[in-house]
Amino acid sequence: MDIVEALEWRYAVKKFDENEILTENSISRISKALSLTATSMGMQLLEFVIVKDEVVKNSLVEACYNQNQVSTCSHLIVLARKNAVDQGFIDAYIDRIAEVKQLEKSSPQLTNFSNMVGGTLRMEKEKQIRWMENQVYIALGNLLTVCAAEKIDACPMEGFNPEKIDELLNLEAKGLKSVLLCPIGIRAKDDKYAKMPKVRRPIKDTIHYI
């Protein structure tokens, strides 16, 4: 499917077919796409929790204000940010760059980059959090586009209680804070929203050429 056609096809699914379970290959492709999401300085200060277990999904419904997409979807993706950036994380990131690019950690190229990355530690806490959360939204955009291209349905969600989700999934122990949810799966044949026309402002009102 052409990518524009795929984006026309997608919508925020309100009712999933509970009998349709995504294949392991589909989940593997989604996972790979998430790992390839663009992030500031390539640091990947975000992680993803993919929930398939029916009992766990059902336990999250109340914390999502009883939105049933959470329990009826094939898989629920929790998009989370790191709680904080510390020197240990930065050191591990620099080690990974040295390994992948076959560089000496003492090389001028890597030393200069390490110093630049280290500047994130000097951010005010509030600014650091906002910076990390913005990158989670980039990941969501990437996820929705990839799902559309793969003919996988999705429903991005901000409407949930982050503290409760974090508690139920034990995210604090992982050093994470939930930012967004995205149930994915296959739309139910009787989801009325699938037949509704997509409403967007005219392109001339939203795209400006200079």
What's the pLDDT at 67? 96
What's the pLDDT at 105? 87
174 occurs within a structural domain: yes
Contacts of 73 (CB under 8 A, 6+ apart): 16, 57, 155, 183, 184, 185
- Tens digit of each residue's pLDDT (9 = 90 or more) over 139-174: 999 999 999 999 999 999 999 999 999 999 999 999
- Tens digit of each residue's pLDDT (9 = 90 or more) over 33-49: 999 999 999 999 999 99
What's the pLDDT at 205? 97
CB 39 within 8 A of CB 135: yes
Q: How many domains does the chain have?
A: 1
What's the pLDDT at 170? 98
Q: Count Cβ atoms below 10 Å from residue 49 Cβ, excluding itself.
A: 18
Residues 41, 155: Cα–Cα separation, whole Å: 28
Query: What domain range includes position 173?
Result: 3-84+122-206
- pLDDT band at residue 83 under the 50/70/90 scheme: very high
Residue 91 in this model has a pLDDT that exceeds 80: yes
- Across the chain, mean pLDDT equals 96
Q: In what order do the strands lie in the sheet with 176-185?
A: 46-51, 75-82, 176-185, 153-154
**How far apart, in Å, are the Cα atoms of 118 and each of 12, 18, 93, 99, 188?**
39, 46, 11, 19, 48
The percentage of the chain sitting over the pLDDT mark of 90, rounded to a whole number, equals 91
96 occurs within a structural domain: no
93 occurs within a structural domain: no
What tokens appear for 207 in the block?
A: 């795209």
What's the pLDDT at 40? 95
* Cα–Cα nearest to 48, from 160, 126, 143, 144: 143
What's the pLDDT at 120? 87
Residue 137 in this model has a pLDDT that exceeds 90: yes
106 occurs within a structural domain: no
65 occurs within a structural domain: yes
Residue 2 in this model has a pLDDT that exceeds 80: yes
Residue 118 in this model has a pLDDT that exceeds 90: no
CATH of the domain at 57: 3.40.109.10
Residue 119 in this model has a pLDDT that exceeds 90: no
100 occurs within a structural domain: no
89 occurs within a structural domain: no
Reported pTM = 0.94
109 occurs within a structural domain: no
